[in-house]
Structures are given as structure tokens and as C-alpha cells.
């Protein structure tokens, strides 16, 4: 039976210290990354949500306690972007209400992005917790750093979006459920059920989780765990059924309902609308080895190969080692332990497998299938570090020349150091990172891989625009072609990143300047800009390792 380690005070101190460091690391680097397309929608929704909190305050002060929760009020504040649950957007909105409007401590955008940094904190804490409880303290300390030293993770951790929050909730669900299976503590069951409610409130990915848990438990019970015979099996099945499954119904669903004001009224219709929207979600085209993946069937290999190529090499090793570790444990341990390892394996791989199904839209970058990365990375760190310990004890430690723990610590420290150059290079555009297995970004561009997406990569261009543009100039933002989202453009002005007098336009003919965001399918826009402006001489180029991602052009006078 797996024995989970008990957390000591040192663990609490280390876990919080490391997570706080990650929080500060993300929070203070927020201005490195432009606003992605989705942030344009979510920040706008957050404003609406902040308005609601203000309305609550005003209503309560007048003694009107029911008005903020009436259908009319909810429809007014939550109609916009109602195709997504509001839990995370409410956090953005509450943060805006408190830190931006009330206290004036944070800017409009940072009030949303501080919530993203908070989820980075929670994710680091979760990884530490998982490492410390299931493996050892060394794994717990190393894994959060290894996780946030992946450029794609660093990038997504800054964004006021749902992707890192659902990564946190997804991984957390698998970890806490396994903890419950092993220890059967009621407080863990209750916590896990509340956690699922919040997870579903963050993003619909979480709907898969209880179903998977139930199926897994049933299969493992009937194949490995039953002790009775005949009809008594059913009695045993019911008796051994984990309490947490009942709580998923009794607690998770009400929690989910509470987090989403939009479905407080016309619940069935609105919930069906929500399911319909996501079951017919549009695909965002992606280039994959020179093929435009604009409509299905999509290649099964896509998420696997992309994960293999978009994580730095040491983390790729951890991923593979983590998977191997789970498989080995599933084969060799007792049934309840086997189930735990199998659940963790599924938690790590199901998101990848789901996107690999040819009929499932592949959406954008790795953000739709990285939700299980913390699980496999942490177990991989454990396998590699324990193998290193074994090796040094056996072959080097006997000579008593080195202390094994010091050598292993040094090895992982060197690993972290080796990741610094690439993280510095991709600090502004982590979504564009490819590892050396494909030849870095040059190799990826040569192989016609998706180079970047989400129209955020303009911070290298705006300084020049602000400097060069005459008063009241108009800039083409490429809004209709995966360029800069219109709301994001307005928020960049609001934040003072783009000069306030500069107007945006989605018509090149009306523009004095043009942002060009490279995506293979849109490269003809560059020719259109050149023809319209009678010049292809870029005023500024955003690039890494000579590979260009976006550019600023000026109309020839």
C-alpha cells in the first residue's frame, strides 16, 4: 500500500516560499507579454463582473439585498461572454473591483493578471504538495521550478485566461482523489468535492473527471478488488464505493451552480446552450509539418509530437520518465495502489489523448492539453532523481569522495541553469518555443510548424509606433486574421502601452501603420500591406533567433 508522506513544518515553509517566489516571478514579469486574443474578451467580461460587485455594494448599502441577484441584474452583467463559466472571470472582476477601482493598487490589466499569478502560486504549491506527499522532499522542491522553467508554461501563467487555472484544477483533482482513495479521510472527500465544483466552474474540461474516476474505480474493483462471489459482489461494490462519488453529486454540483450566476435563471436552457457551444467549437487552424490543420480529421500524433517538441529537453525526459514510472507501478503494485497510479497516468495523458482524437478540434497551442503536465513532470523528476541517487550511491558514493545528495542537487541546479538561456530568449514569446529536437525555432519555421498565435506579440513594436506615429495616426491591427483582438488593442491604450491618440482600424486602406502577425495562412496580408503602403521596409520586427513573428510597417508618404 502506498504510504503518503506526512507534511512537516519544513514542507509548509518550503512549499509556501517556493510558491511565493513563483508568484513574484510571474507577477513582476507580466509586462513582458502582450495581451492575447482571449484576454480581450475576458478582461472585458471582468469589467462587467466588477460592475456587478459595485452594484452589490451599492444595493447592500441601500438595504436592497435581493436586487443584485435578480434575473434582470444577472442578465445585464453576465450576458457578455456567457459561453464560458464565470468563476475565473469573477475572480478577475473582483480583483478589478478591489485592487483597481477601490484601492487603486493595480492597473486595469494587472488586476486581472494578478489572478493569473495567484494560480501560478497555487500550481507551484500543488506540485510541491504532490511531490512531498507521493514522493519525497527533493522532488517537491525541484518540480515547481522545472515546471515553470518551460517557456510555454511561463507564457500561459501570465495570462488572464482559464488555461492555467484549469491546469491547476485538473491536476489537483487527480492528486486529491488519489489521496482520498489511499487514506479515505472524510475531510479530503469534502475538499475534493468542493474542488471539483470549482474546477467545473473554471472550465468544462473538468466534466470528464468524475466520469473517469467512476469508470476507473468500477473497472478496478471488478477486475482486481472484489472479494465476494455471486450477487454479494454488488453489495460489496456498493459498500466500498468511495464516499467522494456521492459528494460529487451533493456538493460539487451546488458549488458549480453557485459559481456561475448566468445559470441561476433558465438553468436548463442556458446550460444546454453552453454545452452546444463547446460541442461545436470552431477549430483554430494550425500548421503542422507544412500541413494546414484547418478541418478534421486531425493527425493523432499532433498533441504527442507537439508536447515532445515544445517542452525543453530535460522536461521531455521527465515527462517520459513519469509515464514509465506510472506504467511500471501499475504493473507491480496492489489493486488500490494500481488504481492510484492508473488514475495519475490518466490524469497526465487523457488531455493529450482527447485532443489526439481526429474529430476533436485541435484549437490553439499546447494550452488545451497541458493540464496533466504537473503530474507526469513531478513523477519524472522523482524517477530521475532517485535513479541518480541509486547510481551515485552504488558507483560514486562508496568512495566517499562526494556526498550523494550534494551531487544530485548540483545536477538539478545545473539543469535549471541550462534552462536559463532559452527562458531568457523566449521570455516575451513563450508560445513560440520549440526545443532542439526540431532545431529550435529556426528548425520549426523551416519545417512549417505553427510559429506563434493569438496576436499578442507586439510589445517589441509599440515602442517604435509610439515614437514614430504622428498625432492621431491609425494603425491596422489585423483583427480579422488572428491578429490583435480589438478589445486587447483598446486595453493596450488604456494601460498606456499604446499611445492614447493612436486609433486602431481593421482596414488596411485606412491605416497609416500596420501590425503584421505572421501565421502561415495569413502571410498574404504582408503582401497586401506592402502593396497598400508601397513599402515593405519594416519599422520594427519582433523576432527570436532571426525568426520573425510580427512586424510594424508604415505607409509611404
Chain residues in the site for other proteins (CB under 8 A): 290, 312-314, 316-318, 320-321, 324, 328, 380, 383-384, 387-388, 390-391, 411, 414-415, 417-419, 421-422, 425, 435-436, 439-442, 445-446, 448, 451, 509-510, 523-524, 526-528, 530-538, 541, 543, 545-548, 551, 556
Whether 492 contacts 525, CB under 8 Å: no
Specify the residue, 172 or 380, whose C-beta has the smaller distance to other proteins: 380
Give the nearest distance from C-beta 165 to other proteins in angstroms: 29
Specify the residue, 242 or 530, whose C-beta has the smaller distance to other proteins: 530
Whether 493 contacts 532, CB under 8 Å: no
Question: Can you give 65-106 as a three-state secondary structure string?
Answer: CCHHHCHHHHHHHHCCCCCCCCHHHHHHHHHHHHHHHHCCCC
Size of the chain, expressed as the number of residues it contains: 557
Give the nearest distance from C-beta 149 to other proteins in angstroms: 10
Q: Give the whole-angstrom CA distance, residue 75 versus residue 82.
A: 9
404: cell is 550523494
Specify the residue, 34 or 380, whose C-beta has the smaller distance to other proteins: 380
Give the nearest distance from C-beta 392 to other proteins in angstroms: 10
Give the nearest distance from C-beta 535 to other proteins in angstroms: 4
Give the nearest distance from C-beta 291 to other proteins in angstroms: 11
Helix (H) / strand (E) containing 513? strand 513-517
Specify the residue, 208 or 486, whose C-beta has the smaller distance to other proteins: 486
Q: Give the whole-angstrom CA distance, residue 392 versus residue 386.
A: 10
Query: What pairs with residue 550 in β-bridges?
Result: 517, 542
Give the nearest distance from C-beta 335 to other proteins in angstroms: 20
Specify the residue, 22 or 547, whose C-beta has the smaller distance to other proteins: 547
Specify the residue, 454 or 533, whose C-beta has the smaller distance to other proteins: 533
Give the nearest distance from C-beta 137 to other proteins in angstroms: 20
Whether 142 contacts 381, CB under 8 Å: yes
Give the nearest distance from C-beta 453 to other proteins in angstroms: 15
Specify the residue, 52 or 549, whose C-beta has the smaller distance to other proteins: 549
Specify the residue, 363 or 548, whose C-beta has the smaller distance to other proteins: 548
For residue 61, the tally of other CB atoms under 10 A from its CB is 8
Question: Can you give 22-53 as a three-state secondary structure string?
Answer: HHHHHHCCHHHCCCCHHHHHHHHHHHHHHHHH
- Taking each helix axis from N to C end, the angle separating 313-332 and 137-148, rounded to the nearest 10 degrees, works out to 140
Q: CA 556 from chain center: how many Å?
A: 42
Compute CA distances 141 → 169, 190, 347, 418, whole Å: 20, 28, 21, 18
Amino acid at each position: 500500500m502506498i504510504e503518503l508522506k506526512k507534511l512537516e513544518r519544513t514542507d509548509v515553509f518550503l512549499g509556501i516560499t517556493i510558491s511565493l517566489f513563483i508568484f513574484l516571478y510571474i507577477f513582476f514579469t507580466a509586462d513582458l507579454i502582450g495581451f492575447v486574443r482571449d484576454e480581450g474578451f475576458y478582461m472585458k467580461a471582468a469589467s462587467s463582473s466588477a460592475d456587478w460587485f459595485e452594484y452589490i455594494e451599492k444595493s447592500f448599502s441601500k438595504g436592497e439585498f435581493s436586487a443584485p441577484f435578480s434575473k434582470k441584474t444577472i442578465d445585464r452583467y453576465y450576458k457578455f461572454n456567457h459561453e464560458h463559466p464565470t468563476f475565473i472571470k469573477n475572480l478577475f472582476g473582483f480583483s478589478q473591483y478591489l485592487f483597481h477601482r477601490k484601492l487603486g493598487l493595480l492597473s486595469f490589466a494587472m488586476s486581472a493578471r494578478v489572478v493569473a499569478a495567484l494560480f501560478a502560486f497555487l500550481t507551484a504549491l500543488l506540485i510541491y504538495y504532490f511531490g512531498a506527499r507521493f514522493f519525497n522532499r527533493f522532488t517537491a522542491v525541484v518540480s515547481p521550478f522545472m515546471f515553470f522553467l518551460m517557456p510555454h508554461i511561463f507564457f500561459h501563467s501570465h495570462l488572464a485566461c482559464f488555461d492555467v487555472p484549469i491546469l491547476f484544477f485538473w491536476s489537483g483533482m487527480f492528486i486529491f482523489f488519489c489521496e482520498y482513495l489511499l487514506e479515505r479521510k472524510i475531510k479530503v472527500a469534502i475538499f475534493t468535492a468542493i474542488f471539483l465544483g470549482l474546477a467545473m466552474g473554471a472550465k468544462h474540461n473538468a466534466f470528464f473527471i468524475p466520469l473517469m474516476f467512476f469508470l476507473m474505480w468500477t473497472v478496478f474493483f471488478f477486475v482486481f478488488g472484489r472479494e465476494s462471489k455471486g450477487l454479494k459482489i454488488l453489495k460489496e461494490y456498493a459498500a466500498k464505493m468511495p464516499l467522494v462519488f456521492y459528494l460529487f453529486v451533493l456538493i460539487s454540483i451546488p458549488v458549480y451552480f453557485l459559481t456561475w450566476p448566468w445559470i441561476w435563471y433558465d438553468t436548463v436552457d442556458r446550460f444546454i446552450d453552453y454545452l452546444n457551444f463547446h460541442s461545436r467549437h470552431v477549430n483554430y487552424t494550425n500548421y503542422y509539418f507544412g500541413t494546414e490543420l484547418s478541418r478534421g480529421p486531425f493527425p493523432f500524433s499532433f498533441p504527442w509530437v507537439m508536447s515532445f517538441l515544445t517542452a525543453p529537453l530535460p522536461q521531455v525526459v521527465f515527462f517520459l520518465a513519469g509515464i514509465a514510472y506510472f506504467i511500471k507501478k501499475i504493473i507491480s503494485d496492489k489493486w488500490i495502489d494500481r488504481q492510484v497510479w492508473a488514475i495519475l497516468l490518466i490524469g497526465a495523458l487523457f488531455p493529450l489523448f482527447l485532443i489526439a482524437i481526429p474529430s476533436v478540434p485541435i484549437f490553439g497551442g499546447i494550452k488545451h492539453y497541458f493540464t496533466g503536465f504537473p503530474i507526469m513532470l513531478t513523477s519524472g523528476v522523482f524517477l530521475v532523481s532517485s535513479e541518480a541517487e541509486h547510481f551515485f550511491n552504488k558507483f560514486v558514493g562508496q568512495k566517499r569522495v562526494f556526498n550523494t545528495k550534494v551531487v544530485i542537487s548540483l545536477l538539478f541546479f545545473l539543469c535549471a541553469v541550462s534552462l536559463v538561456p532559452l527562458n531568457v530568449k523566449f521570455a516575451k514569446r513563450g508560445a513560440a518555443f520549440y526545443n532542439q529536437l526540431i532545431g529550435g525555432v529556426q528548425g520549426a519555421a523551416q519545417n512549417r510548424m505553427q510559429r506563434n498565435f493569438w496576436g499578442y506579440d507586439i510589445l517589441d513594436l509599440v515602442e517604435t509606433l509610439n515614437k514614430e506615429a504622428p498625432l492621431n495616426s491609425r494603425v491596422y491591427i489585423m483583427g480579422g486574421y488572428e491578429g490583435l483582438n480589438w478589445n486587447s488593442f483598446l486595453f493596450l491604450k488604456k494601460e498606456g502601452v499604446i499611445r492614447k491618440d493612436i486609433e486602431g482600424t481593421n482596414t488596411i486602406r485606412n491605416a497609416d501603420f500596420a501590425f503584421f502577425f505572421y501565421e502561415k495562412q495569413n502571410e498574404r496580408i504582408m503582401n497586401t500591406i506592402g502593396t497598400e503602403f508601397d513599402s515593405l521596409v519594416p519599422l520594427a520586427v519582433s523576432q527570436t533567433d532571426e525568426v520573425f513573428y510580427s512586424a510594424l510597417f508604415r505607409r509611404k508618404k
